[in-house]
Chains A and B, each alone.
Chain A
Amino acid sequence: MRIIAYIRLLSFGLVLVSLSAGCGTVPIQNIQDFTTGVTAAQKQTTLAFQAVTDLTSDDVIDYAAAQPTLTDENFFLVLDPKAEAAWDRSFLALEKYGQDLVVLTSPDLTKDYKDYSVSLAEEIKKTGQVLQGANLVTSAPEPSAVLATAFTKLGDLLLRAKAQADAKRIVSATDPAVQQILFEMAADIGDSDGTGIRGTVHAHWQQRKGKCQVAFTKSDDAGKRKLAVQFAGLISQQQAQDAVLESLHRSLLALASAHRALAKGEPFSMAASIAFIKNEVQDTEQLYSKFKNSSED
């Protein structure tokens, strides 16, 4: 009768802990999706920055070549590699943070605890037999499988509830820093082709088109036709590169929104944000290869 009462009590405890653990949890799938989104955004950034460097480096040389003297100060990279490394560090830190969140909220986290609990029950039984064999006790204790299971499961749920509570607390506390990083990055890229890196890139394409326009004023009819074709090609490349940067800008904001959803426990907007970033990366790769192909023409 006493065993039945214990089991009832434990069952009630299990229900309570299950309910508290399930309420406002940080779903592991959402965290994995966030981490995947960070990796994707980093890849997208590498592609976009490489294209910016390819474009601006040529124009920096053009400027240096147009000066009366050749000096070191006229040779520089618009996107400084050391500053680019800070972007990489940020992405890596966000990735590691995401991976550690996955570990903390993983169901496997308590696997060792459960395995050791089973070993302990076996060891208790064995010790009882050893004691009996040595005539130190009259009968070996037989741990109840039902009770041992119930206690182990209760411990497992308590540990997982603690892990969930810790994860929620840490995600909420980290959200302002994550927002600051991703919004700073998005502002760097620019929300239109008149600001940020998008603005700089736009100016470079206008400069290239300007060379065509000047040549056009000096050209005969046949030459003008050629220049018009060249001008159309430049417009196409300009649009493709701006689309790459615009896409990156959207991805960074989507990632910020995904983390905000994680902190607030909004699974649906989270999934939508990550799906959005995955599409943006594909879009960037296609646009970048289009951009590269037209540059090589």
Chain B
Amino acid sequence: MNLTLKQLHDLLLARHNALSDQLGHEADPAKAEAILTEMQELLHRIDLVQGLLFRQSSQKLDDCLARIKKADDALGQATQSIKNAADLVKSMSEFLKAVDEAIDLAKTLAVT
């Protein structure tokens, strides 16, 4: 998270909150209206900074994704190495089947 932007966001929030407290104690309609307008201006800036903060931290999430994907690839390779052992046994079995067929064929040729 961008620390400068975060500090700015925190500052704006604290200022908005202070004005909100002030509004709660203001009985004069004109002054109350002025405080609310100032709060709205602050809120607009809070939203803008929030948007920037959210975009920047999302970029950081994307940066971390490469490490998760790398781990996922490693998992895939580890799984494949186990499957390779099974494939080795399977290919041996298939090889013997081919040998049987070759012998059967040789026997047929010998008879004819």
Contacts and interface: CB of A to CB of B under 8 A. Distances in A.
A93 B79 CA distance: 18
Contacts of B64: 90, 177, 180-181, 184
B2 to A, nearest CB: 11
A217 B72 contact: no
B43 A130 contact: no
Interface in B64-112: 64-65, 67-69, 71-72, 74-76, 78-79, 81-83, 85-86, 89-90, 92-93, 96-97, 99-100, 103-104, 106-107
Nearest to A163: B82
A38 B106 CA distance: 61
A170 B75 contact: yes
A206 B21 CA distance: 9
A134 interface: yes
A210 B23 contact: yes
Nearest to B73: A100
Question: Chain A: interface secondary structure?
Answer: helix
A83 interface: yes
Nearest to B53: A188
A214 B90 contact: no
Dominant secondary structure of chain B at its interface with chain A: helix
Nearest to B40: A63
Interface string B7-29: 00110011011001001101111
Given A90-B64, A210-B23, A76 B47 contact: yes
Most buried by A among B36, B60, B78, B92: B78
Given A116-B86, A210-B23, A103 B74 contact: no
Given A83-B55, A127-B96, A131-B103, A103 B79 contact: yes
Contacts of A218: 29
Contact of A93 (B10, B51, B65, B93): B65
A109 B13 contact: no
A173 B47 contact: no
28 contacts: A60-B47, A63-B43, A83-B54, A85-B58, A86-B59, A90-B65, A100-B79, A110-B86, A112-B90, A113-B82, A116-B93, A120-B92, A120-B96, A123-B96, A123-B97, A174-B67, A180-B60, A181-B65, A184-B57, A185-B61, A194-B13, A194-B17, A195-B13, A200-B50, A203-B16, A210-B20, A217-B29, A218-B29
